Structure 1
């Protein structure tokens, strides 16, 4: 059993994760081998296998880490911020993991998907907000549309830098949907 707070463990896992992300920018997921990861991370195979069963578990672990972080960021921001601040702060918080996030969000040839996880989290978050309204169009459509738009805005911001006007536009889109297609539900 390894102690996850041990600096050697942290350092080894970071090296493995960083090397894996680097390799994903150069090769398709299916082409990456454990040998490639070990060579890039400058570790032995036994070190890799101490933490991960295979590259699939490594990918799944990374996706779960970033999904959990995303969910926490959204939850914290929703309680502490206005909508405009929420999106700007979200982009800023995600920006520190820019390279890894863009790599994983653009990964299409793998069995696990950060895009699918982020979409599901966004749909759940917006559903809570939309529960106060009755819509003339299917609410699930609005959830999916909003999630897709936010995901596009996240990718744009990570790639091109944070633009407050994009956050403002995102909020305007949601307000427009609510204004034109919803009525407030009395509770």
Structure 2
């Protein structure tokens, strides 16, 4: 297959419902296998069996399992970046963090992660030689710095203190999300919002000292 043919097929994949469905099945098969196996032990045959396709269909779209994984992870990270791009809640003060605009802004972030929680949990713990969890932290950190930089009332330039703040906040946020997903039968979405609200109002120590 020539490069031009490959590119044409990729364009068709964006519009052909049958191709979209097949590619979705391949994605699901990859995640299903990663749930139970290290990536190095997963074969194209295993993916094809899970997706209920033959090998020739798989090779229409991917040269091997490594291209599939790279393509899938790139899409997952791109979608996460777009879904968490708005971090306006970082601009709130302790007096305005409860304002509806900031509450809804933060809700969208955690709701998106919760909707995709099964995929994220698998990727965080899979042997894929790529630190997905840390990449998600870095994406949120970059989004926070972008929000600070573009704030009309913000600083003219980013200082090391802004960078440290963004790194601490993104780490705190991702840790809290992972904690929530590890305890979702006992910790509700409202609990998460309340903890985050208290953290931004009062700080980390007072918020958790009250609950421990």
TM-score by structure 2 length? Answer: 0.69
| Residue 69 of structure 1 pairs with residue 79 of structure 2 | yes
**Max radius of gyration: which structure?**
2
For structure 1, the residue ranges without an aligned partner over 5 or more in a row are 178-187
Residue 185 of structure 1 corresponds to: none
Q: Find the aligned partners of 1:100 and 1:170 in 2 and give their Cα distance.
A: 24
| Residue 93 of structure 1 pairs with residue 112 of structure 2 | yes
Shift of the 76–138 alpha-carbon distance from structure 1 to 2, 3 Å rule, reads closer
Would you say the 8 A contact 1:104–1:114 is kept in 2? Answer: yes
1:19 to 2, 22, 29: 29
Residue 8 of structure 1 corresponds to: 18
Q: Find the aligned partners of 1:67 and 1:85 in 2 and give their Cα distance.
A: 22
Would you say the 8 A contact 1:60–1:112 is kept in 2? Answer: no
Deviations 1:78-116 (A, max 9, x none): 49x733322222222233322212211333x21333223
Residue 173 of structure 2 corresponds to: 150
Shift of the 135–125 alpha-carbon distance from structure 1 to 2, 3 Å rule, reads closer
Give the match's secondary structure for 1:104. Answer: helix
2:143 to 107, 125, 149: 125
TM-score by structure 1 length? Answer: 0.77
Shift of the 140–96 alpha-carbon distance from structure 1 to 2, 3 Å rule, reads same
Shift of the 51–24 alpha-carbon distance from structure 1 to 2, 3 Å rule, reads same
Would you say the 8 A contact 1:74–1:90 is kept in 2? Answer: yes
Alignment of 1:146-185 (within 5 A): 146-159=169-182, 160=184, 162-174=188-200
Would you say the 8 A contact 2:86–2:105 is kept in 1? Answer: no
**Please, what is the CA RMSD of the aligned residues?**
2.9
Would you say the 8 A contact 1:78–1:86 is kept in 2? Answer: yes
Q: Find the aligned partners of 2:159 and 2:194 in 1 and give their Cα distance.
A: 25
Q: Find the aligned partners of 1:135 and 1:172 in 2 and give their Cα distance.
A: 26
Deviations 1:35-60 (A, max 9, x none): 11111111111111111222222222
Aligned-pair distance for 1:176?
A: 5.4
Q: Find the aligned partners of 1:153 and 1:162 in 2 and give their Cα distance.
A: 12
Q: Find the aligned partners of 1:111 and 1:96 in 2 and give their Cα distance.
A: 25
Q: Find the aligned partners of 2:88 and 2:59 in 1 and give their Cα distance.
A: 39
Residue 140 of structure 1 corresponds to: 163
For structure 2, the residue ranges without an aligned partner over 5 or more in a row are 1-7, 90-99, 204-212
